[in-house]
Amino acid sequence: MELILKRTYYPNGTNGILWLGEKIIGPTIELPWKENQRRISCIPEGRYELRKRYTPRFGYHLMVREVPERSNILIHAFNDALEESKGCIAPVSNTCGEGKGIFSRIALARLVSLVYAELDNSKPVFLTIKSAS
């Protein structure tokens, strides 16, 4: 499975649309681009493998593997990137500002269901991140 995240960069956050083929999965939010600086920047554009992950804090979510010069990059629920993210990606139901969205837990549950089904069948899942323009 190949997911595509098409990003639009803003000064206070990065908004994206997550695609599977020609189908929109939904919007995403992230920190603004600040040259891949740890904890204050979204991750670089590129292709990354996704893996399952569970923690008591975030529940079932996804790990983005082998991000250059970064570690523990996750896809998990949050609604305000500047307040709640340290470089991760959040699916949201709708965006409502730069790096801001609503109903992230609902959007994450839908994405986890889709991706875990592939991973449970031993099929790799990749995320390609690129600019929307």
The DSSP bridge pattern shows strands 94-97 and 59-64 to be unpaired
Distance set, CA 75 to CA 93, 115, 133 (Å): 14, 11, 23
The secondary structure of 4-56 as a DSSP string is: EEEEEEETTEEEEEEEETTEEEEEEEEPPPSTT-TTTSPPPSEEEEEEEEEET
Structural domains of the chain, with CATH? 2-131 (2.40.440)
* pLDDT in single tens digits along all 133 residues of the chain: 999 999 999 999 999 999 999 999 999 999 999 999 999 999 999 999 999 999 999 999 999 999 999 999 999 999 999 999 999 999 999 999 999 999 999 999 999 999 999 999 999 999 999 999 8
DSSP annotation of 92 reads: -
The reply to whether the predicted model has a pTM over 0.85 is: yes
